[in-house]
Structure 1
Amino acid sequence: MRPGAGIPSEADGRIPTVVADDLHIVYRVYGASARGNATSALRRILRRESPASRVREVHAVRGVTFVAYRGEAIGLIGSNGSGKSTLLRAIAGLLPAERGRVYTDGQPSLLGVNAALMNDLTGERNVILGGLAMGMTREQIRSRYQQIVDFSGINEKGDFISLPMRTYSSGMQARLRFSIAAAKDHDVLMIDEALATGDKSFRRRSEQRIRELRSEAGTVFLVSHNNKTIRDTCDRVLWLEKGELLMDGPADQVLKAYEEETGK
């Protein structure tokens, strides 16, 4: 399927949750000499050098157009630096569009941003703060607390939930973030490589939770370099390269084309 071909007619009947319309995202990177210290700044002023001339633009997303619907799980694939994470951040409202627009129905949640965890606090306190950050009430957090801990699996080898987050491995932190985010029903949930951090049991629980979110009329975006995870979890795939949407279609069809092209 060609990029943008998923745009429906009004009679389609499906309910859109995210619309990207000719979306462009541009980063502006300042060189060391453009920022530097006070001495280098004074030197540039005396030489009448313009800081703007030292700004490098990175066109991270280039004219991406697609529509996502309630009940879909959409995988994002592509090589490193292809714009996948940037696209998720734009959907979440964390990056402004250079050109084009992103429209969302409901509140998008980007895993690891809404559930912002603090290293000096215990896992228990982070569960509470992460839940509050996502809009859950204290009563909802209390009722789901044990479910979150059990889902994460971080207590399987000791009472880690009572220890500060700085004592956790990066994988344990990622699992707890996912577990907090998965405890809430989302209009749009975006997951960036979180499922790569756990064992098979955790991945099975995560994939099951994604299927539940879809059945509850949510939309899930999943970035992963594990094609099997994408196949097992997603029904649709967007393939990005160099910021451009190369292909948008059924998961098996797009993954087959991607694997033939890249050998992965």
Structure 2
Amino acid sequence: MADNTEGRVPTVIADDVHIVYRVNAGGGGKGSATAALSKIIRRKGDAPGVRRVHAVRGVSFTAYRGEAIGLIGSNGSGKSTLLRAIAGLLPCESGKVYTDGQPSLLGVNAALMNDLTGERNVMLGGLAMGMSREQIRERYQDIVDFSGINEKGDFISLPMRTYSSGMAARLRFSIAAAKDHDVLMIDEALATGDRKFQIRSEERIRELRKKAGTVFLVSHSNSSIRDTCDRVLWLEKGELLMDGPTEEVVSAYEKETGGH
């Protein structure tokens, strides 16, 4: 990237970040990234039968206040792992992540409770993000309206397990987007829902940026990345291949992969 950073405030600094997770080899697990991440163990000499997966390899970058940064790369390239490290949910094997303010990670698997109503989940999700009960009450109707889940009936009063995956993802995004964040990381949230909801989401991300936040977006939709982000990090096999303006990086990625 061109060096136009003078006077800008860094919000996230990744300095030669390496992330290794350990998988019990030979177990009957499915070997998905999520299953593997859940089996992280302490680094006191790996036990026999434990396979090391080097998921992020020497990634360095600085993010600045007001930026929206897209993360692209093929499946298993380390995008979600890197976001979890920035959020403080995964330890670095070596290197450091520095953040200014509290990073918030929103994924389509964000922990809401299936047996509770959408209404209760709005309250719990808001409290988990550090909002007061009063703030949640003030923004409650905006959250429901933004999610659009009540457009076809009173779904907010039903348990979350009755929702389609798209409805649940829209509610998660709406809860997270109700608060102004220092650093907001969104993992595939815009891939769900209709175009109308995607447009609302993109508008909200632009608002969050104006309020001096930094937004990271992982998406398989290059159009969402183009519409939302001004900078893109391209990861492949855990390594940072390219970091630059959106169109430049996405075009190079599409040329390499034939994606769109």
TM-score (norm 2): 0.90
Residue 242 of structure 1 is aligned with which of 237, 242, 245?
Answer: 237
Shift of 1:99: 0.5
- Gapped regions of structure 1 (runs ≥ 5): 36-49
TM-score computed with the length of structure 1 as normaliser: 0.89
d(CA) in 1 for partners of 2:13, 2:196: 34
Which residue of the partner structure matches residue 21 of structure 2?
A: 27
Q: CA RMSD in A?
A: 2.0
User: Aligned partners of 2:60 and 2:67: how far apart in 1?
Assistant: 17
Written as runs of structure 1 = structure 2, the 5 A alignment for 1:51-200 is 52-112=47-107, 116-200=111-195
Shift of 1:52: 1.6
Instruction: Check the 8 A contact 2:68/2:214 in 1, yes or no.
Output: yes
SS of the counterpart of 2:80? helix
Q: Which has the higher helix share?
A: 1
Conserved in 1, the CA contact under 8 Å of 2:235 and 2:241? yes
Q: Does 1:251 align with 2:246?
A: yes
SS of residue in 2 equivalent to 1:135: coil
Moved more, 70-79 or 104-113: 104-113
How far 1:171 sits from its partner (Å)? 1.0
CA separation in 1, counterparts of 2:46 and 2:57?
26
Encode CA deviations 1:152-199: one digit per residue, 9 max, x unaligned.
011111100000011111111111000000000000000001001110
**Alpha-carbon shift at residue 122 of structure 1 (Å):** 0.2
How big is each residue's C-alpha offset from its partner over 1:100-140, in whole Å with a ceiling of 9 and x where there is no partner?
A: 00000000000149963101100000000000000001110
- Structure-2 change in CA distance of 1:92 and 1:6 (3 Å): farther
Contact (CA 8 Å) 1:6, 1:248: kept in 2 or not?
no
Distance in 2 (alpha carbons) for counterparts of 1:236 and 1:176: 27
Range moving further from structure 2, 81-90 or 26-35:
26-35
CA change 1:113–1:177 in 2 (3 A) is same
Match of 2:13, as an amino acid?
V
Distance 1:159 1:54, change over 3 A: same
Partner of 1:39: none
For the residue of structure 1 that corresponds to 2:240, the secondary structure is strand
Q: Which residue of 1 aligns with 2:8?
A: 14
The number of residue pairs the alignment matches comes to 244
SS in 1 for 2:151: coil
Residues in 2 aligned to 1:54 and 1:113: alpha-carbon distance in whole angstroms: 32
- The amino acid of 1:103's aligned partner reads Y
Q: Matched residues in 2 for 1:52 and 1:228: separation? A: 44
Runs of 5+ consecutive residues of structure 2 not aligned to the other structure: 30-44
- Counterpart of 2:104 in structure 1: which amino acid? S
* Distance in 2, Cα, partners of 1:72 & 1:107: 16
Per-residue deviation, 1:6: 6.5
Letter in 2 for 1:159: D
**Separation in 1 of the partners of 2:192 and 2:28?**
38
